[in-house]
Amino acid sequence: MSGDTTTVPINSKLIELSGPEPDVADTKYWLIHLQDSTLESLQEVQDAGVTLISHRGENVYLCRYTSTDLDRLRGALAVKSINRYPASAKIHQDLEEDIKVLRDNSSEADTGSSANSVPIAVNILLHEGEPEEAANLIAQELVADGRAQAKDTTSGPGLVTTVVSSDALSSIAAFESVHVISPQSEKDVSNNLCCEILSAEYPQLWPQKNNAPENNTVFDGSGEIVAVGDTGFDNGTAWSSKKDIHPAFNPDKIAAGFCPFNPKPKKQAVMEDLCGHGTHVAASAVGFAQSPSPMAPGGRRIQGTAPGASLVITQLADNKDKGRLRASDANGVFKDAYNAGARVFNESWGSLPMKNGKPYGYDKAKWIDEYIVNQPNAMVCWAAGNDGRKRNKAQRIGAEASAKNTLTVGACHSSRLDDGSGTYAETGSPGDAGTIWEGSSVGFVFDSERIKPDVVAPGHLILSARSRSLSGEDLKDVDDRGKSTDASYMFLSGTSMASPLVAGCAAVLRQAVKALKPTVTNPSSALIKALIINGAVPLVPKKSKKGFYVPDYNWGFGRVNLQASLQHLQKASGGSAVQCGIVDDIMPSGSKGGKLVAEVTVGHGQTIDLTEELMRPRLKATLVYIDKADDLIQYRLYLKVSQASKQSSYWYGNRAKRTKDDKDSQRGDCENNVQQVIWPNLAPDTYRIEVETDPKQANWAKVPFAVAWFLSGDADSAGQKQIIE
């Protein structure tokens, strides 16, 4: 076998695979370097007893191999080399950087001490597939030998949280079952005008885009449940009584409340919202005022984007501990709400930066992606963060907001009157909803080239419900963003405010899909995400040198437009051709080639009248697939749109180039599980929308995926054949 040196990324470190190969199988966890990543090679090592855990790049896989027969592995033609999963890889780079800052600070405080060892709060994550009792055994041993205190230590499936001395990390890394040791992080919480901007005030579906029928169906999220994980809800009213509910909410739409991180309150009660964040967020998603408000245009009722949806609150703040957020695993954040029927989740919070000011990496997001892999119909919207004004990568999106399978939401301005200092004033100037709010964290993902945010929505000067339990500084500062003439409402700004607006849109889309597409009874999060992204509107279209749109690191794929997303669900009417469609499907394990999704035909003479200029039609398609939880893309699917009469004319998702002579067009996007093609100025022809698999890296599991597409133009001149129902 080859002795070539290969370097792969593990836990934000670059690990070199070199040195002599092991003679004995003294571990279950190996880095196996294959000749290639074809289905045949993966099948050969799996037949030898190997369980694939994750792909680390360069045809290197982290694997579990429980046999002591290394010769069996060495004899496999697909195997190039085998290496132990090294203990040095288990101490996350973020943890080492935090320890360095703590040591420097300790040395400055006590110049007489070398400060080699410092206490640090850590998460000890076990390898995928380790039995539940493995975490308990590690926790017990750490407490028994004094490396940790019982009061600081908890354990659950695959995870131990504790506080240890930094010089104990090497001994913890020696546990075979440990995958990574990472730092714990402090969590922080990062509308009618907004509904108008998002085309969500009274979203309708028109079978004919330019000819609305008399009886349009209005979608408002009815039948859907939105879960908000946040600081609490209003005055902590018991849910079972439905009494004294905040006037910004419909009492009949309050479904349930949970306090997973505080055992004292009863299950059906949520502690009061002392800072007001959770109440404000919840109303932006599902609020529907019980009476008109002087703050609403024309004295109407103030409402969220899904006023017909029901609400579940998961209270993540501990008011006994200065409102500290306690959220570290999916069971606490998602499980209760999911079991109560919620399929749309909003999380407007995240980890505070590392001690050096930079954002934490993907390690903080892995548990979120794992949950969505296991519950693929859980649509999770996550606020991007409010670090846009920082510099030197500190403004980049990281931690929880970097999860691949969530919809990460940045903030643009609203049209609210602004006095120039970020404060609402009746004498101010209207904001520009076509520009990014300066505080919104930007992409790409920290230490990665993945596209985030996915979309943006208004997050500046958002008027929403004011908690009746505001206290302390939060009560004192309630008018900092402008004074509301309605005491039930207040202004706040941030991506925290943008995300629930989009969560409400997701609930509306779930309702519409189930009503209009009878075969899609349980839409996946990939489908709802694809609909939102394909309907989004670019803010300031950024173009490549050849004049084609590409995603932008400030606003991702654009500002949400609910009406445009709903139009993907329209049906043919009066003999006209359908111009759009959706697919919610699964790519089988080891699939070769991929799937043809649709064929779209553009007729001769087809044009669009845009600002009195006749233009040819435009085809827009978005692929979203649910990827395995890992910092690297594990399952590679590629969106491809090609022109039938010209084999050399095609686009891959997120690629600006599209001709046979361009190298980039010969491969798909290996960094993103969200891919989009926008093909403007279409010539008369048939266009094929396909989802391809990677011929050089086989997927070793089935992959849920969805595609949404829309052809802009005259329906009478276009035709479409949907391949997958």
Look-up of token digits 């993945």: 450
pLDDT at position 516 is 92
Measured from the Cβ of residue 47, the count of other Cβ atoms closer than 10 Å reads: 9
Q: Phi/psi at 681 (nearest 5 deg)?
A: 55, 50
Strand 324-325 vs strand 317-318: parallel, antiparallel, or unpaired? antiparallel
By the 8 A CB rule, do 429 and 420 touch?
yes
- For helices 495-516 and 525-535, give the axis angle rounded to 10 degrees: 110
Task: Residue 205: name the closest of 497, 509, 639 by CA.
Answer: 509
CA distance 21 to 532: 49
By the 8 A CB rule, do 294 and 237 touch?
no
pLDDT at position 650 is 86
Distances (CA, A) of 358 to 190, 632, 710: 15, 20, 39
Rg (CA), the chain: 26
Measured over the CA atoms of residue 17, residue 21, residue 27 and residue 32, the dihedral's sign is positive
Architecture of domain 93-183: 2-Layer Sandwich (3.30)
Look-up of token digits 């969505």: 372
Task: Residue 236: name the closest of 253, 223, 221, 254 by CA.
Answer: 254
Look-up of token digits 């003479």: 605
If DSSP states are collapsed to H, E and C, what string results for 500-514?
Answer: HHHHHHHHHHHHHHH
Catalytic residues: 230, 277, 496
CA distance 87 to 100: 19
CA distance 268 to 51: 42
Would you identify the CATH topology of the domain 187-516?
A: Rossmann fold (3.40.50)
Q: HSE, CB side, 13 Å, CA atoms: give it for residue 210.
A: 8
CA distance 654 to 441: 21
Element (H, E) at 417: strand 417-418
CA distance 496 to 233: 15
DSSP at 155 = E
CA distance 510 to 562: 12
By the 8 A CB rule, do 367 and 179 touch?
no
- Burial class of residue 144 (count of CB atoms within 10 Å of its CB; 0-12, 13-18, 19+): exposed
Percent of the chain's residues with pLDDT above 90: 51
* Per-residue tokens: 156: 């659950």
Residues 6+ apart with CB under 8 A from 621: 534, 639, 641, 653, 676, 677, 689, 707, 708, 709, 710
Q: Phi/psi at 712 (nearest 5 deg)?
A: -85, 125
Would you identify the CATH topology of the domain 6-88?
A: Alpha-Beta Plaits (3.30.70)
Q: Where are the domains of the chain?
A: 6-88, 93-183, 187-516, 575-722
pLDDT at position 358 is 78
By the 8 A CB rule, do 295 and 240 touch?
no
Q: What is the pTM assigned to this prediction?
A: 0.89
Based on DSSP, count helices (H) and strands (E) in the chain, helices before strands.
Answer: 14, 38
598 three-class SS: strand
Phi-psi region of 547 (alpha: psi -120 to 50; beta: other; left: phi over 0): left
Measured from the Cβ of residue 556, the count of other Cβ atoms closer than 10 Å reads: 29
pLDDT at position 206 is 43
**Residues facing 455 on adjacent strands:** 409
CA distance 367 to 373: 10
Domain 575-722, CATH: 2.60.120.380
Element (H, E) at 43: helix 39-47
CA distance 177 to 171: 13
720 three-class SS: strand
At 393, the amino acid letter reads K
Q: Do domains 6-88 and 93-183 have the same CATH topology?
A: yes
Measured over the CA atoms of residue 134, residue 135, residue 138 and residue 143, the dihedral's sign is negative
Please list the alpha-helical segments (H only) found in 63-131: 70-74, 93-109
pLDDT at position 579 is 76
* Per-residue tokens: 138: 């590690």
DSSP at 283 = H
At 248, the amino acid letter reads A
Q: Enumerate residue ranges in the chain where pLDDT < 70.
A: 1-4, 19, 107-115, 190-194, 199, 201-216, 237-242, 262-270, 298-299, 319-324, 327-328, 419, 425, 427-428, 541-550, 571-578, 603-616, 656-667, 713-725
pLDDT at position 298 is 63
Interval 672-687: pLDDT, tens? 999 999 988 888 889 9
* Per-residue tokens: 15: 């690990």
Task: Residue 194: name the closest of 294, 306, 299, 277 by CA.
Answer: 306
Cis upstream peptide for 444 (omega within 30°): yes
Task: Residue 173: name the closest of 152, 147, 155 by CA.
Answer: 147
User: What are the strands of the beta sheet with 79-84, ordered from one edge?
Assistant: 51-57, 60-64, 29-34, 79-84
Q: Phi/psi at 441 (nearest 5 deg)?
A: -60, 150
Task: Residue 561: name the closest of 537, 581, 539, 579 by CA.
Answer: 537
The whole-angstrom distance between residue 689's C-alpha and the CA centroid of its chain comes to 25
CA distance 336 to 175: 32
CA distance 698 to 701: 9
Q: HSE, CB side, 13 Å, CA atoms: give it for residue 327.
A: 32
At 385, the amino acid letter reads G
